[in-house]
Amino acid sequence: MTIAQVIVDVPSAGTDKVFDYAIPDKWANIIRPGLRVAVPFGPRAIQGFVVGLKSRTDIKNLKSIRRPLDLTPVLNEELLQLGQWIAEETLSYKISAFHAMLPAAMKAKYDKIIRRTGEAQLLLDELFEGKQEITWKEAEKRNLLPALHKEIENGNAEVIYRVKNRARKKLIRTVQVNAEQEKLEDLLETLPSHAVNQKRLVQYIMQHPFETMDASQLAKSASVPQETIKALIKKGIFKEHMLETYRDPYEHRSFERTAPLPLTADQQTAIEPIMQSISHHRHETFLLHGVTGSGKTEIYLQAIQEVLKKGREAVVLVPEIALTPQMVERFKGRFGSDVAVLHSRLSIGEQYDEWRKIQRKEVKVVVGARSAVFAPFENLGIIIIDEEHETSYKQEEAPRYHARNVAIKRGEYHHCPVILGSATPSLESFARAQKSVYHLLSLPKRMNNRGLPSVSIIDMREEMRNGNRSMFSIELFEKMKDRIEKGEQAVLFLNRRGHSTFIMCRDCGYVMQCPHCDISMTYHRSSNEMKCHYCGFQSGVPAVCPECDSSHIRYFGMGTQKVEEELAKLLPEARVIRMDVDTTTRKGSHERLLDQFQSGKADILLGTQMIAKGLDFPNITLVGVLSADTMLHLPDFRAAEKTFQLLTQVSGRAGRHELSGEVVVQTYTPGHYSIQLAAAQDYGRFYVQEMSMRKVGSYPPFYYLALITVTHEDLMKAVSVTEKISAFLQSNISDQAILLGPVASSIPKINDRYRYQCLIKYKREPNLFPALRKVLEHYNTQSSREGFSVTIDIEPNNMM
């Protein structure tokens, strides 16, 4: 095998294929599939992934690989195949798919270092020249890579990628005492009397002997400043070593170990088929449908335990927003240091460290957001997707993959079960369960038969008619007051952010719009500015209407800040914590606010989406939804489903423990089935009703969707290209499929680019994907020249 097949790091239609490169003799034993390599490409050297080896090629003037970028593959055989499958299914480039599977640190610039891990051996001493580590560059210069490769295979050395500007964080200074007791005594006597700290430190190490110790820890224990340690290093009393360590975002939290609970009869019935699938090593997809608090998580935990017992590994996906310490605690509490956690609030370095723990098989369970589905385990025994209906499981940029599909693909490969859990399964998943494509498991009751919270729906039009102009209905207000008196807690949910969503002139109806995007701008109280949430454009707040000069220009809608102000006026005794995008941008703030609420430092938790999930505090007995219909009017066929899910989700926060809960839902459309049925917590009827709507509209799950969006600075060009594409696609599909458009997108302009789209609804269209690929190849090769951008989203979440 002297030729490597390489996918190069140039995401374009023309380069989305395998290129052949010769393997220089000296790399012959190193170059393997899954390795990253540097290859010449035109005038440059770029990164590529080796996907295969072969011994012959028809290419004349074959170029050679410059050098390997790894010594051990970063993608194994399974993941290499998976990446190519994702590229096919999502119509994206293979290189984008590979990058999506790896932690960001692998894309970033990095320093590469080879570190020795084995015992002192002559050869190693020679290679490392007595040092603990050498840089890759140096090893390359000294032509050591082939020799080092052997040592890595033998477990005596390893390659570390150090993200450049974050490397220091990962090193800790350790010291080792390098002097006999006598020498220490001598030193103690000879030290000048004013060297108080040095004396104290010497005394300390005489009384507390140790092998090696973290220098800052030592300084703390001996109550001396860091400089004192440095002074003793200079005097030769200490030998210092820089030690690489994992950045562990959870190191300061201790997790109490929990034991499996005896399962209830319902749980027993539900877990049985999962256990069967585990023990027979058989792939099956389960849909675990159970209201919040019905004990799904305990089932996950016990299924994972069984998997670990069989020596295999587990992946648990939870929505990004639900990755609260509470959720993590349940897994760390059961499986301790066997658990790695992956989410986007970790620094790039932390993410990379967690990924490395997985690759080195130092952990057996991964709990993480969407991309954790690519955890490089080789012996997967189960994949669990909690809250499977969450839209964040679909990536909104290329590759536009859905974690559910990837999980099932991996489950097939590893012959292991996939569990989709939800109180409100997506219509797609529930329909598949009805057709026995998935195996339906139900937990119909809450734990201990605890009742579901009682829900009242308040018609806000009625309130208005009765003269209540406040944002709180009489009932919600009274109940909040009652809870504060009783020392119980309430959660207020608002599905918006910012102070007011928009400003409007009351005389002429003018609404301030972003000049670059066809969308109204949002007022931000803290900066007293108008902001476009699509392109970031900012401007001041007009004092008079730009259209008619009226001064009756007012803020409309309500945001969390405004609710907070209103609460301060009406319920001054209430202690309020506000949680939204603005108060949780800083790292760790999310956790801190929740901790404060849990420890009783506030009566009311006020927030957006992010408080809807995973909250499980015993003292919450009231949940208020300030306006249930904000989502109902979005131009999206899933609007009702999303409203139903959110309301069910939010209501589930109340009364999960001894105290019973109440929910107050305020709405301007009290009769809508999604609101009525969410209040009744009746998923079954909602499913039936919503399915009939989808059938009439020819929407999923009756049809698949492909959304083609064309953008261009020139409106006419965008229109004409969308027309051309539509005509081409129409000629490639059967009359079973429905093509809608071309039409302007529901946000017709973003960032000064016009947006046109067409939508295809289809069932089985063997010619569709090849045709879509042709469209991409055609326009994305020309696009750079003519300024077009064409994107294709299969199974889009977002129709805008």
Residues forming the annotated binding site? Answer: 505, 508, 514, 517, 532, 535, 545, 548
Binding mask 216-255 for ligand ADP (x = CB under 6 A): ----------------------------------------
Report if residue 261 touches ligand ADP, rule: CB under 6 A: yes
Identify what 743 binds: ligand ADP, Zn ion, none; CB under 5 to 8 Å per kind. Answer: none
Using CA atoms, how far apart are residues 558 and 346, in angstroms rounded to an integer? 32
Going by their DSSP bridges, the two strands 604-607 and 157-163 should be labelled as: unpaired
Q: Is 419 or 484 the residue whose CB approaches ligand ADP more closely? A: 419
The footprint of Zn ion on this chain (CB under 5 A) covers a number of residues equal to 15
Identify what 746 binds: ligand ADP, Zn ion, none; CB under 5 to 8 Å per kind. Answer: none
CB of 412 to ligand ADP, least distance (A): 26
Whether 390 and 791 have beta carbons less than 8 Å apart is answered as: no
Identify what 73 binds: Zn ion, ligand ADP, none; CB under 5 to 8 Å per kind. Answer: none
Identify what 702 binds: ligand ADP, Zn ion, none; CB under 5 to 8 Å per kind. Answer: none
Using CA atoms, how far apart are residues 450 and 659, in angstroms rounded to an integer? 9
Burial of 434 (0-12, 13-18, 19+ CB in 10 A): middle
CB of 522 to Zn ion, least distance (A): 10
- Taking residue 615's Cβ as centre, other Cβ atoms within 10 Å add up to 26
Using CA atoms, how far apart are residues 111 and 139, in angstroms rounded to an integer? 13
Identify what 545 binds: ligand ADP, Zn ion, none; CB under 5 to 8 Å per kind. Answer: Zn ion
Using CA atoms, how far apart are residues 208 and 204, in angstroms rounded to an integer? 6
Report if residue 332 touches ligand ADP, rule: CB under 6 A: no
Using CA atoms, how far apart are residues 494 and 647, in angstroms rounded to an integer? 11
Please name every residue paired with 491 in a beta bridge, in sequence order, or none if there are none: 605, 623
The footprint of ligand ADP on this chain (CB under 6 A) covers a number of residues equal to 14
Report if residue 530 touches Zn ion, rule: CB under 5 A: no
CB of 506 to Zn ion, least distance (A): 8
Report if residue 537 touches Zn ion, rule: CB under 5 A: yes
Q: Which of 502, 510, 673, 703 binds Zn ion (CB under 5 A)?
A: 510
Which backbone phi and psi does 309 adopt, to 5 degrees?
A: -60, -30
Report if residue 294 touches ligand ADP, rule: CB under 6 A: yes
Q: Is 262 or 467 the residue whose CB approaches ligand ADP more closely? A: 262
| Structure-token pair, residue 720 | 């004409």
Q: Is 517 or 721 the residue whose CB approaches Zn ion more closely? A: 517
Using CA atoms, how far apart are residues 626 and 687, in angstroms rounded to an integer? 25
Identify what 514 binds: Zn ion, ligand ADP, none; CB under 5 to 8 Å per kind. Answer: Zn ion
Residues 437-456 that bind ligand ADP (CB under 6 A): 447
Q: Is 47 or 294 the residue whose CB approaches ligand ADP more closely? A: 294
Using CA atoms, how far apart are residues 211 and 218, in angstroms rounded to an integer? 12
Identify what 413 binds: Zn ion, ligand ADP, none; CB under 5 to 8 Å per kind. Answer: none
Burial of 122 (0-12, 13-18, 19+ CB in 10 A): exposed
Report if residue 521 touches Zn ion, rule: CB under 5 A: no
Helices and strands of the chain, counted as H and E runs: 24, 33
Cα dihedral 535, 539, 542, 547 sign: negative
Residues 394-433 that bind ligand ADP (CB under 6 A): none
Report the candidate in 92, 14, 44, 10 with the shortest Cα–Cα distance to residue 782: 14
Three-state DSSP state, 7: strand
Q: Is 339 or 545 the residue whose CB approaches Zn ion more closely? A: 545
Report if residue 292 touches ligand ADP, rule: CB under 6 A: yes
Identify what 102 binds: ligand ADP, Zn ion, none; CB under 5 to 8 Å per kind. Answer: none
The strand ranges marked E within 291-427 are 313-317, 339-342, 365-368, 380-386, 418-422
Residue positions in the annotated binding site for Zn(2+)? Answer: 505, 508, 514, 517, 532, 535, 545, 548
Identify what 532 binds: ligand ADP, Zn ion, none; CB under 5 to 8 Å per kind. Answer: Zn ion
Residues 53-92 that bind ligand ADP (CB under 6 A): none
Report if residue 655 touches ligand ADP, rule: CB under 6 A: no
Peptide bond into 68 cis (omega under 30): no
Q: Which of 62, 123, 261, 548 binds Zn ion (CB under 5 A)?
A: 548
Whether 131 and 115 have beta carbons less than 8 Å apart is answered as: no
CB of 554 to Zn ion, least distance (A): 11
Using CA atoms, how far apart are residues 800 and 796, in angstroms rounded to an integer? 9
Report if residue 516 touches Zn ion, rule: CB under 5 A: yes
| Structure-token pair, residue 226 | 């860091």
Q: Which of 5, 228, 267, 359 binds ligand ADP (CB under 6 A)?
A: 267
Report the candidate in 649, 651, 591 with the shortest Cα–Cα distance to residue 621: 651
Report if residue 648 touches ligand ADP, rule: CB under 6 A: no
Please name every residue paired with 440 in a beta bridge, in sequence order, or none if there are none: 287
Within 8 A by CB and 6+ apart from 340, the residues are 354, 355, 357, 358, 363, 365, 366, 367, 368, 375
Identify what 516 binds: Zn ion, ligand ADP, none; CB under 5 to 8 Å per kind. Answer: Zn ion
Site residues for ligand ADP per CB under 6 A: 261-264, 267, 290, 292-298, 447
Site residues for Zn ion per CB under 5 A: 505, 507-508, 510, 514, 516-517, 532, 534-535, 537, 545, 547-548, 550
